[in-house]
Amino acid sequence: MQTIKLKNKPYLLAGYSMVGPLEGKGPLKDYFDYILKDDTLKEKTFEKSERKLLQDIIVGAIDKAGLKITDIDFFFGGDLLNQIVSSSYTARELEIPFIGLYSACATMAESLALASIFVDNGLAENVVAGTCTHFSSAERQYRFPLELGNQRPPTAQWTITGGGASVISKTPSNIRVSAVTFGRVVDFGIGDVNNMGAAMAPAACDTIREHIKNMGRTAKDYDLILTGDLGKLGSEILIDLMEHDKIILGKNYSDCGCMIYDKTERVFMGGSGAGCSASVLNSYIFKKLSAGDFKRILLVSTGALMSTTTSQQGDTIPGIAHAVELEFAGANKTNLKVNFSKDTNNVKSKKGGK
Q: Give whichever of 88 and 194 is closer to another protein, judged by the CB atom.
A: 194
CB closer to another protein, 30 vs 147: 147
* Contact present, 289 and 328 (Cβ < 8 Å): yes
267 makes contact with another protein (CB under 8 A): yes
Q: Is 30 in the site for another protein (CB under 8 A)?
A: no
Segment interacting with another protein, rule: CB under 8 A, options 97-105, 111-119, 229-237, 329-337:
229-237
Should residue 93 be labelled a site residue for another protein when binding is judged by CB under 8 A?
no
Nearer to another protein, 189 or 216 (CB): 189
**Biggest alpha carbon–alpha carbon distance for the chain:** 57
Q: Name the one range near another protein by CB under 8 A: 60-68, 131-139, 206-214, 222-230.
A: 131-139
Contact status: 353 vs another protein (CB under 8 A): no
Q: How far is the CB of 277 from another protein (least distance, A)?
A: 19
Q: Does 152 bind another protein (CB under 8 A)?
A: yes
Q: Which of 258, 255, 247 is nearest to 221 (CA)?
A: 247
What is the Cα–Cα distance from 162 to 17, expressed in whole angstroms? 7
Tell me which of 39, 56, 206, 210 binds another protein, using CB under 8 A: 39
Number of Cβ within a 10 Å radius of residue 138 = 23
Total binding residues toward another protein, as defined by CB under 8 A: 44
**From the CB of residue 67, how many other CB atoms can be counted at a distance below 10 Å?**
20
Exactly one of 44, 246, 251, 263 binds another protein (CB under 8 A); which one? 44
Element (H, E) at 316: none
Interface residues for another protein in 310-339 (CB under 8 A)? 316
The residue from 27, 122, 153, 172 that contacts another protein (CB under 8 A) is: 153
Selection from 177, 232, 229, 178 nearest residue 203 by Cα: 229
In the complex with another protein, the residue whose CB is nearer, 6 or 267, is 267
Q: Give the residue from 103, 40, 79 showing the smallest Cα distance to 275.
A: 79
The alpha carbon of residue 26 and the mean position of all alpha carbons in its chain are separated, in whole angstroms, by 17
Helix axes of 46-64 and 135-142: crossing angle, nearest 10 degrees = 140
- Residue 261 in the binding site for another protein (CB under 8 A): yes
When asked if residue 146 is in the footprint of another protein (CB under 8 A), the reply is yes
The long-range contacts involving 96-100, CB below 8 angstroms and separated by at least 24 positions, are 96/58, 96/69, 96/72, 96/128, 97/73, 98/74, 99/74, 99/75
**Number of Cβ atoms within 10 Å of the Cβ of 260:** 32
DSSP 3-state assignment of 202? helix
Closest distance to another protein from the beta carbon of 30 (Å): 19
CA 85, 163, 135 angle in degrees (round to 5)?
70
User: In whole angstroms, how close is the CB of 50 to another protein at the nearest point?
Assistant: 12
One-letter amino acid for residue 30 of the chain: D
CB closer to another protein, 78 vs 197: 197
Determine if 142 is a binding residue for another protein (CB under 8 A): no
Check binding of 272 to another protein (CB under 8 A).
no
User: Reduced to 3 states, what is the DSSP secondary structure of residue 165?
Assistant: strand
Binding test (CB under 8 A) with another protein, winner from 1, 7, 70, 150? 150
Interface residue with another protein among 198, 256, 285, 305 (CB under 8 A) is 198
**Which of 57, 129, 177, 233: binder of another protein (CB under 8 A)?**
233
Our finding on whether 161 is near another protein (CB under 8 A) is yes
145 or 314: whose CB is closer to another protein? Answer: 145
CA atoms within 13 A on the CB side of 128: 36
Q: How far is the CB of 147 from another protein (least distance, A)?
A: 4
**SS3 track for 279-308:** HHHHHHHHHHHHCCCCCEEEEEEEEECCCH
DSSP three-state, residue 38: coil
**Residues lying near another protein in the complex (CB under 8 A):** 20, 22, 39-40, 44-46, 135-136, 139-140, 144-155, 158, 161, 187-190, 192, 194-195, 198, 202, 233, 236-237, 240, 261, 264-267, 316
